Structure 1
């Protein structure tokens, strides 16, 4: 092991909500070989979870048992390999991917500019925004399975649906190949600017939040259902439904993860009572309750 292994590691500083308990173990591998060796030697009974930027996640107050794998700078590189194709590390941000694509004259991945996460999360959750999804641009991904085996999975093997994939439990996405189309850097930048302005105008970007909380049901927008159910500004302790965008939950200061999650359940109940529609969580809720 050449990376860093930390016991009882606080996760709250690493996630956007700034709440939640500790990881039993936090492993930050030095490179892919370090990760494969570590997982191969790890007791198969120990659970493993990958952590990106922690933007779309509630870490429960009791913490996360087993090992949390966090991919750092060695996994955050992006490069154009031809006129339409990018190879991206699993820890690379959407901003880095879209900016590299712009510089290489590759269009079609601008939507990643608006998703506050990493390539590994995009691949696992079929991340998307502004009418585009990861499944539309992904060619394949390299993953390290829980066993420590490294393998390549093509997009057709990932069972993609809306914000869901069939990636094996406990695997870590270490890289992905995206394909766009030839484009003009100036036009690509203009689209990125449009997306950034739209996010700034509609989302509480400078708050402690987790991004979009609920999936959009077929034929509906989650935020409209939440708003129509009278949940705008609804609070539980220091957890609040955003008044700017009602599909965002906020930590106003010292909210616990339990308060944030229970507020989400309050919203689900109110929407069910008002419209008869059951909202599904989009935010990942991990760990154990305290």
Structure 2
């Protein structure tokens, strides 16, 4: 596919369902798993400019449609999952494939507070792109800069201030691949941080269907605005309350269901197709708009083509 074969794994026609938490999705034309940043840079530099590129992480926030993806899906692995904590400066350097939970734990062990990441499913690359947040803290509150590779294969370092980080969004261009990030973390007692994370996990497990096939929160909370004017979800209006009020807690369509435990979680009950999941999501959006006037926005990313 490229003049110089990559050192990483390049697979044609790779079905993606097993790479997503919802376990749905058709094949990608190509799946590329680069060995390291140099391998990724070379691959993108040689890839024709008209071939679409889609980065995915651990698939925790993703619906791949049943017809699959035309283009190249790039999934970072072991060469991109390192975590380093500087105990003096409080700077945490993490590869894009490092799991959010692992970064939180490693930082806490070094007496640095990134506990908001502990219950966020996914990896640092996705957390940066979506400005992930929990318990009132966001990546934007801690991010120093990122390392990325452009669509044409140039490695770049981008300061956080150039990413236009907002509620569940950034200005990172399509086709650019985040390879790592540096975050600033405040000093704190490791034992207290460990206790806080245990409490967060208990709170999550009590309120969310963590043992079901889901992709986390399906819809963004209707955004309010912080004192700085930045849109965020630090207010009382939540997507789940609108869905509940619309009578859709536990609602089913085919093999898809809105969770009984937390109605903003879209579940694959065992035999759902991507079409089932997306159709139920759109039904929820329509019903909430009818009953409350609010237009829910998808937080789960949907990519690819429908089945023929």
Moved over 2 A (4+): none
- Equivalent residue of 1:116, what SS? coil
- 2:138 maps to 1:121: no
Separation in 2 of the partners of 1:26 and 1:81?
34
Task: Name 1:282's counterpart in structure 2.
Answer: 299
- 2:248 maps to 1:231: yes
Separation in 2 of the partners of 1:64 and 1:203?
30
Give yes or no for contact 2:256–2:266 (8 Å, CA) kept in 1.
yes
- Offset, 1:289: 1.1
Within a 5 Å distance, the mapping from 1:86-101 to structure 2 comes to 86-101=92-107
Which of 19, 24, 29 matches 2:29? Answer: 24
Q: Deviations over 1:131-154 (max 9, x none)?
A: 111111100000001010000111
Within a 5 Å distance, the mapping from 1:186-205 to structure 2 comes to 186-205=191-210
Separation in 1 of the partners of 2:197 and 2:9?
36
Q: Deviations over 1:26-46 (max 9, x none)?
A: 000000000000000000100
- Offset, 1:82: 3.9
Task: Name 2:274's counterpart in structure 1.
Answer: 257
Task: Name 1:104's counterpart in structure 2.
Answer: 110
Separation in 2 of the partners of 1:148 and 1:243?
45
Between the two proteins, the alignment pairs up a number of residues equal to: 289
- 2:176 maps to 1:171: yes
TM-score of the superposition, structure 1-length normalised?
A: 0.98
Which sections of structure 1, spanning at least 5 residues, go unmatched?
Answer: none
Which sections of structure 2, spanning at least 5 residues, go unmatched?
Answer: 1-5, 225-234
TM-score of the superposition, structure 2-length normalised?
A: 0.93
- Equivalent residue of 1:114, what SS? coil
- Offset, 1:111: 1.0
Separation in 1 of the partners of 2:165 and 2:55?
19
- Offset, 1:10: 1.1
Separation in 1 of the partners of 2:85 and 2:57?
22
Which of 142, 162, 166 matches 2:147? Answer: 142
Give yes or no for contact 2:85–2:91 (8 Å, CA) kept in 1.
yes
Separation in 1 of the partners of 2:109 and 2:158?
27
Task: Name 1:52's counterpart in structure 2.
Answer: 57
Task: Name 1:273's counterpart in structure 2.
Answer: 290
Separation in 2 of the partners of 1:48 and 1:33?
17
Separation in 1 of the partners of 2:120 and 2:188?
21
Q: Deviations over 1:79-136 (max 9, x none)?
A: 11343111000000011101110111101x1011111100000000001111111111
- Offset, 1:74: 1.3
Separation in 1 of the partners of 2:159 and 2:203?
32
- 2:253 maps to 1:248: no
